[in-house]
Amino acid sequence: MDYKKYIAERLHAEGVSAEEIAALIVCPPDPAMGDYALPCFKLAKTLRRNPTEIARTLQDSFAADAVVEKAEAAGGYLNFTLCRAGMVGDILRKILSEGDRYGASDAGMGRVVCIDYSSVNIAKRFHIGHLSTTVLGAALYRIMNFLGYKAVGINHLGDYGTQFGKLISAYKRWGDREEIERQGVAALNDIYVRWHREAETHPEMEDEARAYFKKIEEKDPECLALFDWFKELTMKDVAKIYDLLDVHFDSYAGESFYSDKMAPVVEELREKGLLKESRGAQIVDLEEYGMPPCIILKKDGSSLYATRDMAAAIYRKNTYDFYKCLYVVAYQQNLHFKQFFKVLELMGKPWAKDLVHVAYGMVSLEEGAMSTRKGNVVFLEDVIDKCIEKAYAVVSEKNPDLENKEDVAKKVGVGAVIFGALYNSKIKDIVFSYDKVLNFEGETSVYVQYTCARANSVLQKAGKAEEYAVPRTVGNEEFELAKSLESFPETVLAAAEKYEPCLIARLCVDIAQKFNKFYFGCKILTAETPALKNFRLALTRATLQTLTNALALLGIGVPEKM
């Protein structure tokens, strides 16, 4: 049951719809205040009375029933206490009947949501800076599909620009094909770093790099073959990371894919009188909108990110007819997205309003900032491997006889990396700490996974699931746990609307904490009566199911034992 909707429909406030009231209802921070509360402050203007008087009037007109035990005014709030047995029964029936679809819906109605995330750079290894865009985008991809949207995952490869001319220059100077085949992208990265070091004292190398990139654009067979080989090596390298993180894409159309699709965009800008010349470059003047000009073509006629991104947006609209197109890119690119979104709007594209920049903060280790050019990069594969290694040591210490320790350590280590990036609001910068993300007692995936293993252990000892009935008197630990489980579908919807998977991650921790209070505060297998035992086992099954569903949306597996 949607309790907010139920309460709202039973309240009668003249001039205020049930939908408006339902949107105002919240869960109080203290359970002693009730299960739901209506702050009456926002109703004061419409009803022309003070909030305290509104709360009292609504209390007097609200009759208790089998769902809501009482309504009680407290200052400008009207607090509602639910009938615990009825509510818990509703929640358990819903979770246990829906199983791995609990929390899912058809809210998306099959509408397409394009999600541009990860966007690796060709010939560069996956580093820690790619973590957020990859796991955040992948979580949104799963969440959207779970809610009935048709998500299209796009890996907008960074495969265009002078850096590939630099790489060809480096390869021709110092490259060894057999060695690069053996070491892969790591070897390409080494010669790329060396090229930048040498170019500091040999500036003529920059001209050579530009010449090689021009050859790529002109489809020179030798340069194009090298470029395609660099791509192949990169995709082979990143595939290992994507497999570990269980990340998938529907399209790998990168920047080079749009090289022949930019000219029509430039021509349309020219036809609509939006292009202006400035110091030899072609720009769209955005001063009226409080932004610097958006450069469309450089002085030498070459394109920029904005040109390619506009061509990509138009292609995606024509190809997928998206409802929304999300760009999961760091906040440093805020201006870039504002600019090209505005240019598309000025071009008369009504769907420009459906482009969304999902900005996120930066991830770093305690070592600090990184630079591919200088070679001081923390590679994501190394971070994941170290987390798996540390997880194996911890799991071995806590449960030396555990079977499949390698598999458990992999789920724990990978989960720790993902959860560490998703637990906080996406816009916050993150300093990644191995000790913090692998803490069994903290607000971590390890704590949540361990809770799942604990619940699974109880259920395995209990054997076959029996019929259950909710007792007339439901204890505080049982009720608070059930309420937390009941909020999962609403949390998934909020995570999609706000593009914030952290809401699901935080609910996981909240459910785990409440389950552990229930586990230590209530006898489950040794309950006073068989009926009480079966009820508590049903609550345990519902907890395990909800946490499994929630972690799956984040891309995190659940070990049966730990």
User: For 533-555, how does the pLDDT look when each residue is reduced to its tens digit (9 = 90+)?
Assistant: 999 999 999 999 999 999 999 99
| 345-371 burial: b if 16+ Cβ within 10 Å, else e | ebbebebbebbbbbbbbbbbeeeeebe
Q: 372 falls in which pLDDT band (50, 70, 90)?
A: very low
Phi, psi torsion values for 157, nearest 5 degrees: -60, 140
> What is the β-pairing status of strands 363-365 and 430-432?
parallel
pLDDT score of 373: 47
Mean pLDDT, residues 148-165: 93
Cβ neighbourhood burial of 442 (10 Å; 0-12, 13-18, 19+): middle
pLDDT score of 13: 81
pLDDT score of 376: 55
Q: 44 falls in which pLDDT band (50, 70, 90)?
A: very high
pLDDT score of 370: 46
Does the pLDDT of residue 226 top 60, yes or no? yes
Which has the closest alpha carbon to 558: 549, 550, 548?
A: 548
> What percent of the chain lies above the pLDDT cut of 70?
98
pLDDT tens for 395-415 read 999 899 999 999 999 999 999
> What is the β-pairing status of strands 355-360 and 324-330?
parallel
pLDDT score of 371: 47
Maximum average pLDDT range among 27-36, 240-249, 378-387: 240-249
pLDDT tens for 322-351 read 999 999 999 999 999 999 999 999 999 999
pLDDT score of 259: 86
pLDDT tens for 200-212 read 999 999 999 989 9
The Cα–Cα gap between 240 and 463 comes to: 39
What's the whole-number average pLDDT of the chain?
A: 93
H or E stretch covering 82: strand 77-82
Compare 260 and 370 and report the one with higher pLDDT: 260
Q: Is residue 301 a contact partner of residue 282, using CB atoms and an 8 Å limit? A: no
pLDDT score of 273: 96
pLDDT score of 183: 92
Neighbouring-strand partners of residue 36: 80
Which has the closest alpha carbon to 138: 524, 539, 475, 421?
A: 421
Phi, psi torsion values for 396, nearest 5 degrees: -65, -40
pLDDT score of 510: 97
Does the pLDDT of residue 282 top 80, yes or no? yes
Indicate the Cα dihedral angle 144, 147, 149, 154, nearest 10°. 20
pLDDT score of 301: 77
Looking at CATH, the fold of the domain delimited by 3-82 is given as Gyrase A; domain 2 (3.30.1360)
Place of tokens 């079977």: 403
Place of tokens 């110092």: 174
Collect contacts of 171-175 with beta carbons under 8 A, ≥24 apart: 171/226
Q: 247 falls in which pLDDT band (50, 70, 90)?
A: very high
Cβ neighbourhood burial of 246 (10 Å; 0-12, 13-18, 19+): middle
pLDDT tens for 53-111 read 999 999 999 999 989 999 999 999 999 999 999 999 999 999 999 999 999 999 999 99
The Cα–Cα gap between 353 and 323 comes to: 10
Q: Is residue 381 a contact partner of residue 126, using CB atoms and an 8 Å limit? A: yes
pLDDT score of 116: 98
pLDDT score of 78: 96
Q: 526 falls in which pLDDT band (50, 70, 90)?
A: very high
Mean pLDDT, residues 5-10: 93
Q: Is residue 507 a contact partner of residue 435, using CB atoms and an 8 Å limit? A: no
The Cα–Cα gap between 497 and 187 comes to: 42
Mean pLDDT, residues 218-232: 92
- Residue 418's alpha-carbon distances to 46, 323, 387, 423, 503, in angstroms, are 46, 27, 11, 9, 14
Q: 368 falls in which pLDDT band (50, 70, 90)?
A: low
Does the pLDDT of residue 321 top 50, yes or no? yes
